[in-house]
Amino acid sequence: MVDFPALRTKMVDGQVRPNDVTDLRIIDAMGEVARENFAPDDQKPLAYLDRDLPLGGGRSPRVLIQPMVLARMLQYAGIKPTDKVLEVGSASGYGAAVMARLAGSVVALEQDADLAAIARRQLSGLANVAVVEASLVKGVPDAAPFDVIIFNGAVVTFPETIARQLAKRGRLLLVEEGSSVPRARLYARDDGGISGRTLFDASVPVLPGFEAVETFAF
């Protein structure tokens, strides 16, 4: 019998706290949300390991991103109780469940029908979360603007369409793939537009629709 609460405590103490995560609300939320409930049956015993948790997806593998990466992104996001949050590529909903304990409301965007169904089921008891099944690359313009936008996966090209859904003083967090090491980055909107800065190295699978654009040589 797997002692999931004990594993959850070890995850928080061994992966979250030592990685500059000091917001007690994040620590408490990750200590409360049962990550195993968002995992396939064969992955449940591995739900609290320091790694991405595979959810399937074939050519575009989907994951619950590494707990440490999620926690650090949330730390930099500075989510307030009044914030409206968009999670892009929410998969089975774990990140949205954590953020629901930090934000005023969360929109969990997922285009995979099977994953969206799991997210709806697991998040049904949270009145401040809405699961939207639609294309990831378009965001959710009807619900914009958002105070915080977080990507549950990496991008190769900057998501201009979604960035336009960011509120003034809003924050957008994602992992950027490029010619060098993949890194988590924070973008913020102010009167002069959107500017960004690098936060930390992080490697997670690229979300479908945000891959490199293929070029052809003639």
Mean pLDDT of the chain, nearest integer = 93
Lowest mean pLDDT among 7-21, 136-150, 200-214: 200-214
Q: pTM of the full predicted structure?
A: 0.93
pLDDT for res 1: 84
Q: In which band, very low, low, confident or very high, does the pLDDT at 179 lie, cut at 50, 70 and 90?
A: low
**pLDDT tens digit string along 17-37?**
999 999 999 999 999 999 999
- Kindly state the average pLDDT of the residues 145-172: 95
Domains and CATH numbers, the chain: 52-201 (3.40.50.150)
pLDDT of 157 reads: 87
pLDDT-derived band at 58 (thresholds 50, 70, 90) equals: low
Residues 72-127: pLDDT tens digits?
A: 999 999 999 999 999 999 999 999 999 999 999 999 999 999 999 999 999 999 99
Torsion of CA 194, 29, 115, 117, to 10 degrees: -120
Q: How far apart are CA 198 and CA 48, in angstroms?
A: 27
- Percentage of residues in the chain having pLDDT higher than 70: 95
Which amino acid is present at 82? Answer: T
The burial class, CB within 10 Å (0-12 / 13-18 / 19+), for 165 is: buried
* Percent of the chain's residues with pLDDT above 90: 84
Place 60 in a pLDDT band, splitting at 50, 70 and 90: low
Cis peptide before 141, with omega less than 30 degrees from 0? Answer: no
Strands (E), 28-115: 53-56, 62-64, 84-88, 105-110
